[in-house]
Structure 1
């Protein structure tokens, strides 16, 4: 990597001595050599990046992304997923076990870890809670942790057996592991197409009630309290979920949670055009739910925001709404979605940089002189279009494909590698 000078960017990183200041950052041989108000370039080989109007922080970290490898590489492989992550400003991504076979043993964990070596983006596998994600028998959690799994989840298969979830929480506690709950009571939610409410009635589609999520969150909070274990809830989507987790935190339970970026922006009213790219799980809820989610972020109830990147081939999305697969790609659109919701640069750094790493026990890059450079430069006002030339994913299932967006990652640096995003 060439030596790089980032000029006139606002540094945003809580606890940093230059937090909030406009600075120049000199990076030599992959390390930050100097941070100052003005650095005069003296080396002709120095690559200067104009950071005026931009924000520089530690690289984003995503707690919930889906790649297809192993087995579903036609949706996304590790290399294309990492490329999409880098283009979105991420230098770290946790990938879920929604694969075939699932990431349910040390073999699949090792495959992901080894396939991702040498990449600018650190890819961390999340191992399953149960074998084959069937919710029947506990997977080998310790073996997967030793091979590199940073947490455990059955992905978009919610664990229906309370006893199995209880044993997983207890076992994970013994190895200082983290269980991630995707909360959905299938007996209540079964066969849903969208959120249950006025819009589902109007459109004549089976709805998934908020109750399906809050029932499972209530159960898992009881189990976490009983076992005195940590638990993380991913992709919460309802006002009731926010309320339940807020009360649990007040009681002192070891609970954290995240929300998908698209659930902060879109509602079930967007489904009216039957665009299958708006078919996600959990479904898009109501304006009331979005208001509660944004309040939950502000109050500290919600700890992180995730992309929930879920790529699909065109034949799974370019079909009737009721048979389309659920999910949208999100690694490159999370930043513009958050800009559109009105979040500040400080908010974005808190929910995409600092707190996601704290949840899984990863060090936060310090951006201090002498430290290895792991950073992103992003511009919250720059406009760009997600299309075939800018999209780095193998898939195109996004409701904003072909549209102009505001908010763009400009460069990412990690592991002595540099990408300038065009």
Structure 2
């Protein structure tokens, strides 16, 4: 496949052509020439006023395969990823069976080969994600697992987390912590505060998240290990991680795109599509998250793509499952939050790969073409027709969003709008 992208502005801090308007010639999946004016026998893509960057990478993606393919399978999940500009995704182990041995890792790696979207399954920290015994972490690492997490289940046992941090250190693997103290959070469904009082619902206090972050920071400091916190959501969480970085701890963290634009006020209509975990917080928390992204405290933005069948979301708020689909809307939500394009590329494309010690693509001559073309100003409507996911549990379906993905290219495979 040969492609000539005309008059695109490159956003890529690692490219010598960063911020320049150029033509990009791609031949058989390789960027062979970048210059102000090019002519070639290739498919022409007019991109004046549009932008090219390295393809996005999602650190927190849930796809039902294995066992929950009615929610999402690799085919539909990677289609949604490509439509959202993602050329790589890290899969959470929240499946049945969970991804807790090399058999599941090898199955997913082999199933996803030669796809437009690179797939990196994350292994579970504990056997069956039960939080009791360590899973076969080293075997999974040898089979392709880049990091370990119990997904949407926090590791409640401090001793188990300490052992996981020490064990992973031996082969330079990364532990991802989902920070929630379940004894504090209980069975509550929403953020504790004014809105939960109005709704008459028991709330999850920010303390539930912050206690676990404080604990795991102490453990990481004690063991001298790297640690990454998934989907932080509160002001104090940002402050704790900011202070840990000042002290020199090897800590990183991410935030879900929807937590940058939504607050718990969205729940006033008891709409279950807004039911996520961690729960939507307050405007002050959103402002703290945005500040954390801008000052470097928060390293990455994730989709937290969590598809569900209709019967799990189109029900009363109290019994609905947590989660929304997010692969196709993450970029637009980052723009809606008011973030600069350069910062978005850093948080969506560069840092996620750096966190997992993956090769970072670049829009540079001689490199494999792993890139996305987007229009910052174009508005598009997210509908059930252009939704590529098998599920449609997104509160943004039917809404007009800014920031259109025009083309995604990787592994010599092309998605084009």
Query: Which range, TM-score by smaller chain?
Result: over 0.9
Aligned twin of 1:158: 154
State which of 184, 189, 194 in structure 2 corresponds to 1:193. 189
Contact 1:55 1:345 in 2 (8 A): no
- For residues 366 and 298 of structure 1, what CA distance do their matches in structure 2 show? 22
State which of 190, 204, 209 in structure 1 corresponds to 2:205. 209
Q: How far does residue 15 in structure 1 lie from its aligned partner after superposition?
A: 3.0
Contact 2:272 2:313 in 1 (8 A): yes
- For residues 141 and 273 of structure 2, what CA distance do their matches in structure 1 show? 34
Whether 2:296 is the aligned partner of 1:300: answer yes
Aligned twin of 2:350: 354
Whether 2:409 is the aligned partner of 1:413: answer yes
**Cα displacement string for residues 217-268 of structure 1 (whole angstroms, at most 9, x for unaligned residues):** 0000000000000000010000000000001000000100000000011000
Contact 2:85 2:407 in 1 (8 A): yes
Aligned twin of 2:306: 310
Q: How far does residue 16 in structure 1 lie from its aligned partner after superposition?
A: 1.6
Aligned twin of 1:32: 31
Whether 2:114 is the aligned partner of 1:115: answer no
Whether 2:246 is the aligned partner of 1:250: answer yes
Whether 2:54 is the aligned partner of 1:58: answer yes
Aligned twin of 1:404: 400
Contact 1:155 1:182 in 2 (8 A): yes
Please state whether the residue corresponding to 2:119 is helix, strand or coil: strand
Q: How far does residue 312 in structure 1 lie from its aligned partner after superposition?
A: 0.2
Aligned twin of 1:234: 230
- For residues 304 and 370 of structure 1, what CA distance do their matches in structure 2 show? 27
Q: How far does residue 404 in structure 1 lie from its aligned partner after superposition?
A: 1.4
Contact 2:10 2:363 in 1 (8 A): no
**Cα displacement string for residues 365-408 of structure 1 (whole angstroms, at most 9, x for unaligned residues):** 12221211111001111111111221000000000112211111
Q: How far does residue 77 in structure 1 lie from its aligned partner after superposition?
A: 0.5
State which of 92, 97, 102 in structure 2 corresponds to 1:106. 102
- For residues 114 and 25 of structure 1, what CA distance do their matches in structure 2 show? 32
Please state whether the residue corresponding to 1:271 is helix, strand or coil: helix
Flag structure 1 segments of 5+ consecutive residues without an equivalent.
Answer: none
State which of 266, 279, 286 in structure 1 corresponds to 2:282. 286
- For residues 141 and 51 of structure 1, what CA distance do their matches in structure 2 show? 45
Contact 2:16 2:364 in 1 (8 A): no
Aligned twin of 2:15: 16
Whether 2:71 is the aligned partner of 1:75: answer yes
Report the TM-score when normalising by structure 2: 0.99
State which of 344, 354, 359 in structure 2 corresponds to 1:363. 359
**Cα displacement string for residues 294-333 of structure 1 (whole angstroms, at most 9, x for unaligned residues):** 1111110000000000000000000000000000000000
Aligned counterparts, 1:87-106, within 5 A: 87-106=83-102
Flag structure 2 segments of 5+ consecutive residues without an equivalent.
Answer: none
**Displaced runs of 4 or more, over 4 A:** none
Please state whether the residue corresponding to 1:168 is helix, strand or coil: helix
The number of residue pairs the alignment matches comes to: 417
